[in-house]
Chain A
């Protein structure tokens, strides 16, 4: 039994699939037990989580920033809206999601090929331009993209076999918003399994190598440009899926939903959760979903007007983002994991009298984190590459 568990530990795909199965059970239990309103909220959490998951892979594993994931989501959402114009459309939702992913991937490839091959802030700047440019496209092509009002998304009827299957498992009738929430969370699980596998395998290792030391990575035979562009494209694909789910959930694709603020708050979510960690992305997405109403209520209680109180949530995101980078650059998940490892190292050292090299870091604690995998992007990498070399 023990051997089997440890082999599960060693086998990455099996571990991820087991986690996905566990996640699925939790999702079914939660979605079945909450109201329609909460189901819609949870569906929004799912699409934010998918987009944040894609972004955290790009930023955490490859060390690049995208300020345009909101715009990439817009492309996914508009694609879905164009595919689901009325009730007659017979496309299954999975196909709609796939098409949205492919279209977003194409746009991501165009931007990524231009910007991601370069070192430095170019990808951040180009994606920022994307974030500002995309809403304008919807306004310019009013006839096809609906201008300021946006496009309505008509969800197809729930397939009969799904209704039957859900009734068979849960004994409850499936409402439409619960169906949407199921679609959202299933997509999230699929995307996360794919991202986790990619990140744990050879591709992820290359991304991390490029992030940590460009020269060493290139000496090891890694094509820097290809690694960067592939990371951005994978990330863009996730954003496309997130956009499709957004369209299903909100039932509208309108430019006002895809402001620069959306892109920036996604970044805040992954910084808070911990860069590079999918669990962190999910925590961040939960905060983005549930924090605003709490903060806004506090604001209105403190005597602010509704409009002012609505700005408190982004204020909190921004402050938290600054504080996390300055104080705990590994984010929630990274800090917890680091603390856990330090505690474990401390417990082990006196018992088995290991060489002091592994134990000493726990004493000083703050600067050298023993777990390299989570602190990576954060402040520990010395900046040898950027300073003073350019002339």
Chain B
């Protein structure tokens, strides 16, 4: 029973991170119809930025902020310079481009930061919290993970619901032509969308890295989990991405705890195939599928 509870708790914490990553994918998918596979190395690069700041003797929080800011800048830069020329062209070109970026960022990080495992600090204790004499698998950093993802999600909801910029971003995601006719600077909104998505991705990267090891490829499996979570939620819905992330996190945690950690990625693949076969529109799809 205790193991069951602890596995579920670990899964919930991980699920929050997957949710954040899925949210980053969904933000970009909604605005530009691109699945940004380069999200993983982008988050990896910003985490290394944080590591460099922290290793230079500054506090964890300065590194944290530096990573988020560099995520913002990196996302805006990549959209404006690399992705913009292929927007609206054949979608396969955009995907190939993100994969090219994937390789480039990967290799650059390996050259600049070194192709080895480095430990990443955590701002809070990694000891499990004791409740009524038993230690549960939820530590200070886990709570921080959950809270920070919730805060970011709340901010995003507030941005999209209650601000003028958010309305414009939704308009340009919904229909570029009409938004442009109504005077929305669609290009700027797309850049902003990428920047925000990259920021959320960076947060996920930092949360995965905390108290663990980082390596140029440490986020590679996370992009898969993020994608599966996003597809679970329908790829188009931010709320769906969050729920999908939590479901996936808990399921994978059980696979890892009761079967074997090597099979976690396989379990994600199986879940993805089941969803695509049974409910390709995601778990919450109501409307009829778009034909072709």
- Write the residues of chain A forming the contact surface with B, with a CB cutoff of 8 angstroms: 59, 63-65, 67, 110-111, 113-115, 118-122, 124-126, 128-130, 132-134, 136-137, 139-140, 214-215, 218, 224, 259-261, 264-265, 267-268, 271, 304, 307-308, 310-312, 314-315, 317-319, 321-322, 325-326, 329, 377-383, 385-391
Contacts and interface: CB of A to CB of B under 8 A. Distances in A.
A115 B111 contact: no
A308 B266 contact: no
A260 B217 CA distance: 9
24 contacts: A67-B37, A114-B273, A125-B272, A129-B224, A129-B265, A132-B221, A136-B266, A260-B217, A261-B106, A264-B102, A265-B103, A267-B96, A268-B100, A271-B100, A308-B115, A311-B111, A318-B104, A329-B93, A381-B89, A382-B89, A383-B91, A386-B91, A388-B176, A391-B287
Contacts of B290: 119, 389-390
- What are the 8 A-B residue pairs with the smallest beta carbon separation, nearest first? A318-B103, A321-B100, A318-B104, A315-B107, A133-B265, A114-B273, A322-B100, A311-B110
Interface stretch (B13-21, B80-88, B162-170, B189-197): B80-88
Nearest to A311: B110
A132 B174 CA distance: 33
Interface of B: 33, 35, 37, 82, 85-86, 88-93, 95-97, 99-108, 110-111, 114-116, 174-177, 217, 220-221, 223-224, 227-228, 231, 236, 260, 262-266, 268-269, 272-274, 276-277, 280, 287, 290, 292
A136 B103 contact: no
B86 A264 contact: no
Given A114-B272, A329-B93, 17 more contacts: A114-B277, A115-B276, A118-B280, A126-B269, A126-B273, A128-B37, A129-B224, A214-B292, A224-B292, A267-B99, A268-B103, A271-B96, A318-B102, A319-B104, A322-B101, A325-B97, A386-B91
A83 B38 CA distance: 38
Interface of A is mostly: helix
Nearest to A213: B292
Contacts of B107: 311-312, 314-315, 318
B88 A387 contact: yes
Contacts of B92: 59, 63-65, 377
Nearest to B105: A318
B241 to A, nearest CB: 14
B99 A321 contact: yes
Contacts of B264: 136
Given A125-B227, A125-B272, A308-B110, A318 B101 contact: yes
Contacts of B266: 133-134, 136-137
Given A67-B99, A118-B280, A136-B266, A383 B89 contact: yes
B216 to A, nearest CB: 8
Contact of B111 (A312, A322, A388, A390): A312
A315 B104 contact: yes
Contacts of A321: 96-97, 99-100, 103
A178 B176 CA distance: 59
